[in-house]
């Protein structure tokens, strides 16, 4: 059993923030998109598959948060095999978790709003599908920025050494 030191405990907080907030944004976004998809399917039953696609777009933020949380738990020794993290590295771990967590929260919600509107537009004009996907995908960039900053913080903060 690994003795939990303060830095390792802070890494657990960072992992929770990463997956918790990114998952919250993803879940809310999927709810927004799915609510638009349900309305679209009620109007046109052939919209089911396209509605699922728009709803699934918002899942990536949760995946990014999950990956960062796993990396934090593995490299902090929480899942065994490590000596634990220093307090300074633990603070970096919270920053890493916050970077993807908050970026994923905003990105997922924004993506869900765009996807929900897009699926409604596709019901009106079938040629809007590709443009709707592009509009919905634009919000993904904020989550990607948060994911990259989280990785950079872990690398240069000595966690992924």
Model pLDDT for residues 116-144, shown as the tens digit of each residue: 999 999 999 999 999 999 999 999 999 99
Structure confidence at residue 80 (pLDDT):
76
What's the average model confidence in pLDDT over 85-110?
96
3-state secondary structure of 16: helix
Structure confidence at residue 84 (pLDDT):
81
Burial of 80 (0-12, 13-18, 19+ CB in 10 A): exposed
For the chain, helix, strand, coil in percent to 5 are 85, 0, 15
What's the average model confidence in pLDDT over 19-33?
97
Structure confidence at residue 2 (pLDDT):
45
pLDDT at residue 9 tops 80: yes
Which residue is it, tokens 């019901």?
A: 123
pLDDT at residue 41 tops 80: yes
CATH 1.20.120.610 fits 6-156, yes or no: yes
pLDDT at residue 3 tops 80: no
Instruction: Say how far residue 158 (Cα) sits from the centre of its chain.
Output: 23
């Amino acid at each position: 059993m690994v003795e939990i030191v303060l830095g390792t405990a802070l890494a657990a907080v960072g992992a929770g923030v990463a997956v918790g907030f990114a998952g919250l944004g993803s879940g809310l976004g999927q709810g927004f998109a799915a609510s638009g998809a349900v309305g679209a399917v009620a109007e046109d039953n052939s919209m089911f598959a396209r509605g699922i696609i728009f709803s699934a777009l918002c899942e990536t933020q949760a995946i990014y948060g999950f990956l960062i949380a796993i990396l934090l738990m593995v490299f902090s020794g929480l899942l065994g095999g490590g000596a634990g993290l220093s307090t300074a590295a633990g603070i970096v771990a919270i920053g890493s978790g916050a970077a993807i967590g908050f970026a994923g929260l905003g990105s997922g919600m924004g993506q869900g709003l765009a996807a929900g509107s897009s699926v409604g537009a596709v019901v009106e004009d079938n040629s809007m599908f590709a443009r709707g996907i592009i509009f919905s995908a634009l919000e993904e960039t904020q989550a990607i920025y948060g994911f990259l900053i989280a990785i950079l913080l872990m690398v240069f903060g000595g966690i992924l050494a």
